[in-house]
Chain A
């Protein structure tokens, strides 16, 4: 149990376009989902926390208009990178916390975004 999928696993897009990444909890309900970003040789950095049915909470320095997060149901959260630029190229990974399960977070496999 506690499987999280993420789609797509890799995406290449042109500068100025928008890209949507989906994060799904497959066998549990996730009240809270998290979006992380990882630059080469760095740690996973939390971008935002989303709770089902409410607005996401963004970490300092993360532009909420650029990284749109929607958590429309207990099993799906989406991250849309709007008007992507080459500096948005990165590895994005989501995690989900099971309803009533305390601290544990279950991760998706991540999405490699390349903006040309």
Chain B
């Protein structure tokens, strides 16, 4: 059974704080790792697809790093804003399927 773990489960931060969370996945037979941002009542939105060890991707104030040898990825949000409030999901790609973690629920207070 493939396990994808995300921590923390939830996070409350003040506007302007920077934050980060972790996704752990099996380190063997790595193919790709996806990050999604999911706001309530909306569709999950693709943030990054990461494929190479040492990859670092950035989209505005959000960035992600990847370590395939040890099986983890970090997602960073610099200067959090209330509109960043969402659940952030990671998903491990294996045999043509996405295996999701349970997500990190971020709440940013003004």
Contacts and interface: CB of A to CB of B under 8 A. Distances in A.
Interface in B30-68: 31-32, 34, 36, 41-44, 46, 49
B74 interface: no
A49 interface: yes
B43 A105 contact: no
A4 B32 CA distance: 22
Given A41-B102, A42-B102, A43-B102, A103 B93 contact: yes
Interface in A10-61: 34, 36, 41-46, 49
Interface residues of B, number: 22
- Grouping DSSP codes into helix (H, G, I), strand (E, B) and loop, the B interface class, with mixed when no group exceeds half, is strand
A42 B43 CA distance: 17
B38 to A, nearest CB: 8
Interface residues of A, number: 20
A44 B97 contact: no
A43 B32 contact: no
A105 B42 contact: no
Interface stretch (A63-71, A78-86, A106-114): A106-114
B100 interface: yes
B96 A49 contact: yes
Nearest to B96: A49
A103 B49 contact: yes
A13 to B, nearest CB: 21
Contacts of A109: 41-43
A104 interface: yes
Interface of A: 4, 34, 36, 41-46, 49, 93, 102-110
23 contacts: A4-B43, A34-B97, A36-B100, A43-B4, A43-B89, A43-B101, A44-B89, A44-B91, A45-B100, A46-B97, A46-B99, A103-B34, A103-B49, A103-B93, A104-B46, A104-B49, A105-B46, A106-B43, A107-B36, A107-B44, A108-B43, A109-B41, A110-B43
